[in-house]
Amino acid sequence: MSGTGSRDGTSQRRWQRGDQMLWTYTNPTHPGLYDQRPVTVIADDEKHLAVWLESGTRMLHQVLADGSGIRTADGPARFGAPRAQGLKRWQGPGIVAVFQPGADYSVWYFATPSGRRDSFYINLEEPFTRFDRGILTSDHVLDIVVDAQGRYQLKDEDELEFARAAGMFSDEKAARIRSAADSAIEDIRAWTFPFDSDYPDFRPDPAWPMPELPAAATWDFES
């Protein structure tokens, strides 16, 4: 993996507040390509890992083979068409992302007009694993959007079907992803951790430097 080092399945090293690490998504349909975000650690304990993604951070992402955005492709081609490695900057306000050991989703906190980060994006994904410089997971396409009042709705159900049709997920895997979404909705309704945490009021330390991609990172297109 370019710029990420080797996975260490035996190490349970925890990061300290202010450490920099790499939040990385792999894609079994497109091996060798990554979505990789340099982030700063907020907390890392037995309950959760929380990281801060600063606005303007340079990050790796996947694009179509001609450099255009993935969502410009239609239907199953959005997931099955050839891809390349892209580079872009994170747009909009910074976000807090929370990962829980063994969980099938992460929770991203987005700023709202109130000034708080109390709009939540539930990203369905593989439970994260650690490697020497960060964490690895794989996106499951289906997502849940939750507003400040706790109202929620599923997002990208059509894309989950496109991914299944493209062979990215089997019927069984797609069913497990939907089941994981149901479990996440139960957590939202119960307003369990991390929804009941103080992260909506989080403010990053102004002394934290902007994290950078590894020097060995490479890409084909920059936007």
State the sign of the Cα–Cα–Cα–Cα dihedral 111, 116, 119, 121: positive
Tell me how many degrees the CA angle 33-24-2 measures, rounded to the nearest 5.
Answer: 50
pLDDT for res 79: 95
Residue-level pLDDT at 10: 39
pLDDT value at residue 178: 97
CA distances from 139 to 43, 152, 169 (A): 22, 20, 11
Separation between Cα atoms, residue 160 and residue 140, nearest integer Å: 8
In 3D space, the residue among 85, 104, 99, 103 whose CA is nearest the CA of residue 34 turns out to be 85
pLDDT, residue 8, reads: 41
Give, for all 223 residues of the chain, the pLDDT tens digit.
544 443 444 356 899 999 999 999 999 899 999 999 999 999 999 999 999 999 999 999 999 999 999 999 999 999 999 999 999 999 989 999 999 999 999 999 999 888 899 999 999 999 999 999 999 999 999 999 999 899 999 999 999 999 999 999 999 999 999 999 999 999 999 999 999 999 999 999 999 999 999 999 999 999 9
Query: Rounded CA gap, 184 and 178, in Å?
Result: 10
Kindly give the pairing relationship between strand 49-53 and strand 95-99: antiparallel
- What confidence score (pLDDT) does residue 176 get? 97
**CATH topology (fold) of 20-199:** FomD barrel-like fold (2.40.380)
